[in-house]
Amino acid sequence: MSLPLSSPGEPRSESLGRGRLGRVPWVTLGLALVASGIYVGTARAGPLDVDAMVRFGAKVGPLITEAGEPWRLLTANLLHRDALHLGLNLLVLLAAGSVLEGTWRRVEYGALLVAAGLSTMTCSLLWAEEVSVGASGMAYGCVGALIVLGRRYRAALSPAGRRMAGEGVLPTVLVFLWMGWTSVGVDNAGHLGGFVAGLLVGLFLVPERLRAGEPPSMGWIRAGSVVVAAVVLAALGVFGRSLWRVERDDVFGVSVAMPGGWRQGADRLGRLAFSNGLPGLGRASFAAEAIQAGEPGDGELQALRFVETALSAEAGLPEGRPEKVRGPEPAWVSGGKAQRVQAELRGPGGVTHLRALFVPHGEFVYQLVFTWPEAFPRYSRVVDRMVAELRLEEPAMLREARARSLLVPGASEPLAELGASLRRWGRPEEAVEPLREAVRLAPSQVGTRVELARALFESGRVEEGCRAAEEALVYGPSETVALEAGVRCELARGDTARALLRLEEARRVDPRDPRLRAAEAALRATLKAGGR
- Residue 86: partners with Cβ closer than 8 Å, 6 or more residues away: 35, 36, 39, 80
Higher pLDDT, 335 or 368: 368
Architecture in CATH for domain 396-528: Alpha Horseshoe (1.25)
* pLDDT for residue 476: 81
In tens, the pLDDT along 326-337 reads 989 999 998 889
Per-residue pLDDT band at 184 (split at 50, 70, 90): low
Residue 321 φ/ψ, nearest 5 degrees: -85, 130
pLDDT (tens digit, 9 = 90+) per residue, 216-268? 888 899 999 999 999 999 999 999 999 999 998 888 888 999 999 999 988 88
Confidence check: pLDDT of 457 > 80: yes
Q: Is 67 helix (H, G, I), strand (E, B) or coil?
A: coil
CATH T-level topology, domain 19-241: Rhomboid-like fold (1.20.1540)
More confident residue, 513 or 24: 24
pLDDT tens, position by position, 463-493: 999 999 889 888 887 788 888 888 888 888 8
* Beta strand residue intervals within 348-399, DSSP E: 350-361, 364-373, 391-392
Instruction: Please check whether the domain covering 245-392 is classified as CATH 3.30.750.210.
Output: no
Q: How far apart are CA 210 and CA 91, in angstroms?
A: 28
Q: Are 242 and 65 in contact (CB under 8 A)?
A: yes
Q: How far apart are CA 456 and CA 439, in angstroms?
A: 14
pLDDT of residue 195: 93
The pLDDT of residue 226 is: 95
Q: What's the confidence (pLDDT) of residue 464?
A: 92
Quick one: pLDDT at residue 36?
A: 96
What's the confidence (pLDDT) of residue 343?
Answer: 95
By percentage, how much of the chain surpasses pLDDT 90?
51
Q: Looking at per-residue confidence, does 316 or 379 come out higher?
A: 379
How many CB atoms are located within 10 Å of the residue 5 CB?
Answer: 18
Query: What are 54-98's pLDDT values in tens digits?
Result: 999 999 999 999 999 999 999 999 999 999 999 989 998 998 898
- Provide the pLDDT confidence category of residue 37 given band limits of 50, 70 and 90: very high
Least confident residue range of 279-283, 287-291, 312-316: 312-316
Q: Kindly indicate the confidence band of residue 183, based on its pLDDT and cuts at 50, 70 and 90.
A: low
- Across the range 187-204, mean pLDDT stands at 92
Residue 532 has pLDDT above 90, yes or no: no
pLDDT score, position 28 = 95
Q: Distance (Å, rounded) from C-alpha 25 to C-alpha 402?
A: 75
Query: What is the reported pLDDT for 355?
Result: 97
Chain region(s) in the chain for CATH 1.25.40.10: 396-528
Cβ-based neighbour number of residue 404 at 10 Å: 16
pLDDT, position 322: 92
Residues shown for the chain: 532
pLDDT confidence of residue 523: 67
321-333 sheet: strands from edge to edge? 263-264, 272-275, 285-292, 364-373, 350-361, 336-347, 321-333
**Numbered ranges of CATH 1.20.1540.10 in the chain:** 19-241
Which residues of the chain does CATH 3.40.1000.10 include? 245-392
Q: What are phi and psi of 152, to 5 degrees?
A: -90, -35
- What DSSP assignment string belongs to 111-140? HHHHHHHHHHHHHHHHH--S-B--SHHHHH
The residue ranking higher by pLDDT, 524 or 202, is 202
pLDDT number for residue 19? 37
In this prediction, residue 186 carries a pLDDT of 80
pTM metric for this prediction:
0.83
Lowest mean pLDDT among 42-51, 281-290, 339-348, 521-530: 521-530
Instruction: Report in angstroms the alpha-carbon separations of 382 from 126, 258, 270, 377.
Output: 20, 8, 19, 10
